[in-house]
Structure 1
Amino acid sequence: MKISYQLILLITIFLISLLGIQFIYYINIKNLTEEETETYALKMVEQIEKEVTNHFTDIIRIAYTLSYSSDTQDLLTAETPVVKYESSSKFLELRKHLLRSNKDIDRLILHSADNRVISPNEFPISELLNSEYNYLNSLKQRQFTRLYNLKSNGRENFSLIYPVYNLDDNFSHEIIGYSIAVSNIEFLETLISETEIPNKYEFYILDTQNTIAAASERINNGMIFPLQLSGNIPEGTFIEMEYQKKPILFSSKDISDTGWKVCAVIPISMVNTKLVRIRNIGFFISLVFLIILLSVGAVISRSITRPIDRVVEFAASVVDHSTRKRLDLPKGNEMRILSECINSMLDRMDLMNRKILDTKTSLLKVELEKKKAELENLQAQINPHFLYNTLECLRSLGVHYESDEITEISTAMADIFRYSIKGDEITTIKNEMDCIGQYLKIISIRFQDRFRFTVNIDENIFNCKLPKMTLQPIVENAVYHGLEPKLGNGELSIRGYRKENNLCISIYDNGIGISKEISESINNYTEAYISEKRSMGLLNINKRIKIRFGSNYGIQIKSQRGKGTYVNVELPIH
């Protein structure tokens, strides 16, 4: 798979993982938000329930005080008018005092067991009891009533009915009357309104018949609570229900010993509204990450995958065509270093190819030179007896006429001729120097000792190998083209020595010298500026050495017009 495809796959996997994390995060935040919302609402329900309970407890305390005071007991059990009158006066004082202690209690009523209103007489008890007098007869313990509306004051009220037992009769548990505390609902409305209720949260206080006594929305007061409440709703928890065709979270808590309830309604849409911002933030973060990923992917594609594709295409083109092309990548990253390494490798390959080509060329030249030498050798061997006989005839004439010069020249020439055409092409330094010695004899006779020759060869190189007739032509060139044109005597010196792993032979003459252009052409292995036969001979010797042993070997010429020529021959030691 291409790196670009792998990069796209990696980005896709990362995005899917990011969306998965966002989804899990959203679900957890949703659950946490709902939990915090429910916890907060339950605390508010408990707070309202606690306030209502405290208020109801105060009403119970007042009703209890009224029911079991001695004056109330005397008033309900009085048998004579005098006792009843005295007790009534004291009862009214107590009642007045208790009413002052709680401003939310509108009336304190004492009702006898035989359905007589003892005090106050002006209170329309029929409105309170709704003409159901038997209701009191069946009541055995205190009880808060449902809401009701008194025409006398035009307000919603509720009452606490407290049975009054005869304290003088501890065995019969006789109910001698009822204390009724009539309260308005203003304190409940005030309690709800003063509670800091979040927007769209709804709290209700319900009476025993699920009538709304107080609510966060006052327009609902006095209405029947629309939800069907059952005893299966556990306290301290929220359940999902439908209210006004909208999903809600609902919870209720009973106000102990009253039959009343505190309810909380939270629209789920409100919870979701809180989550919308979190969800939008999550989507925004995902979008930012997507942009960052795409940007990083584009940068990686530009700086890595594209250069890699270019490297692959370049490698294919190099394989299919040649190594002359070079890879050019922008600077600034490791791919540039890779391209430089590839280009360096191609440069080395080109150099190796050139070396291989040069080696093959050299081998071909060596082979050609060898074939040429073989042809020349074969040609030189044509009718050798004629040449030997001619030289032998010259030697015989020299002996007959007692001419030592002719004898020595013919003998030396025969030895040189025999050396040049017989044996292997490779010879030793000693054999080459013997040939040069014969040649110098001829030169000495011819020029009548006009030239002085000096030969200094280290004995430890006598057995070193070199191509036959390598040094003799150089010596011959030095004599005929350097010393002979010179006026006066001349000097020729030959020195041989070992230099590290190379063999060095230096030939010096103090003749007329050669031009700088010709010496440089010979040294550089070129034929420029060369027209003299002498120079062509030196160039050919240089070519023979380089073809056979390599470009590190050959001859080097240092010459100055009118002062002489220095030729150095460098060969590998064999």
Structure 2
Amino acid sequence: MGNLTRMRIKTQLQLAVALIVIIMLMIIYSLYTQTSQIVIQNNNQYTEDTIRKFKLNLTQKTDEISQIMLSLGFDPFVQKFMTQNDPSLLYEMSNELDRKIISLKAGRKGFQDIVLIGTSGMRYSLNGSIDFVQRSNKEIESNKTVYVSGLEPYDYSSTSKNSMLFAQNIYSSDLGNGTDGNRIGYIAVIIDVEAMFFDDDRSKAEPGIGFYLIDRFGSVYPETNSPDITRTISALSSRHNSEQKLTDSIGGVKGAIQIQRLDQINASVLSFVPQEALLAELGSVRNRSILIVILSILLMAVPFAVITNNIVQPIQRLVRFINGIKSGSIQDLKTTIHLEGNVEMNVVAENLNGMLSEIDNLTHRLVETNTHLLEAEIEKEKAATAYLRSQINPHFLYNTLESIKGVALEAENRQIVEMTKALGKLFHYSIKGSGYVTLDQELNAVKSYVYLQLIRFEDRFDVTYHFSDEALQVSVLRMMLQPLVENAIFHGLEPKTSKGNLTIAGQIEHGHTLVLRITDDGMGVDEDTLRRIQGKLLEKPSSLSRDSQDSPDSDSIGLLNVNNRLRLAYGFQYGLTFESEAGHGTCITLTMPSHYVQPGGDIRV
């Protein structure tokens, strides 16, 4: 919210409109996402129901095939035919078997051929498919149940169709000759996969839903034009042996996939529905919704621009007018402002014009009495200063501290003695002598002050002094370090909950510059305060009035005072720098010449 208050009204209105547009687009996207999920879920349920019907149909068809093979296998005529060795009888019986099998196939789709292979060497096929069947002799003979082949191409009537072979061993049921239970051959049924399993389901399936049959060898029906797609379908089927619902890509197209096992034929069925097909209509709705939002924005742009102009322009004129008054132009007090655009701004203009007229009258009255009031204020300040000076007698305070020290000695309270001694030294140092002392003398006064603060804060911080012997002999301004050390203790170390460290150091750098540093690891200041203090330090030196002590920057008065003294004494190339980081501490650096000439020719070293 703080950043918004610093923005122009026009910018805020534009941000509000942009936010509304973003929220509307997010709502559209959210509705699109939720609707997409519902569509996909419904499609998954529909696909699951379709696969369930497909599996039920497949079970019925495989049961029908098994029933045909079983009925033929136990038919006495068929068993007699399979054990017959007389060629003439076989020929006659084959004609009868043709009629029986043709009658059996009548009305049933997908039956391409029925083949009988006997152990006695008998071979029978209605459509000449004996060689096609005998390729699987070993697997059929070793199978104890119904044998089901994989997908194989079967050529019949000059056309090739995807087929599957069902076969079952036949055992003798003749109890009369003692051959009951002996294997006498097998019966095989060749079926057209499309006509048998897919014809009904394809006619009822929803457009876009693809069903693929994958046999145990990875062959896919219906065949695809791309070998990569076939391999992808086979790989998906082999990786997911149980019932699965997933999202994957086939041929670079992402879609919803369901895989289920078909145990009756030792294969799997895979359904694939492209998401693009599922969400095509939703995408159209989404695009139309976005188009409506864009058109709405375009239609609202003109009235929005007019409304914004009616609000912003009067405010801009008002700001320019007030800035003219702020710059000190008395002529602006005599002029009137007219703000058009809305009722509220008209009311503001009327009230402002009335206020300016009243201010103009008051200004003339104040100008007439200003001189008299200024002279009276000067006299009052002089009297107040004299009164305050009469209230404080430095020698009296110093003698009083000596008396307190004497009482403490008699009471044998060494801490009070040391505290009064240190305070006496500090007070005596601050009021005696010239404005310049050696850095060694200044440091002794600082140590007395730090000693008092260590007693007050009960050793909550450690103090380290690092000064070169050469630096200690340099002449510096009196009471220059104490305000800075006080600032470090009270604003840096006192608020800190853990024990702190204070380092006071000084040395001569570059052969002619004395550099002093007061460093603490206390609370530091935030970036805004740091920028404000650094800006103050760069301003021209000025006196600090009592009003400035009540300002937000009153905590930095000691810093500004020392900085002004240094710059006035040594020049603007010297002074104080302030570096700080919130939570990590503060470093104050003072620079001044190690040799300088005072007014009058007195050289200070």
Superposition TM-score, scaled by structure 1 size: 0.48
Rg bigger for which structure? 1
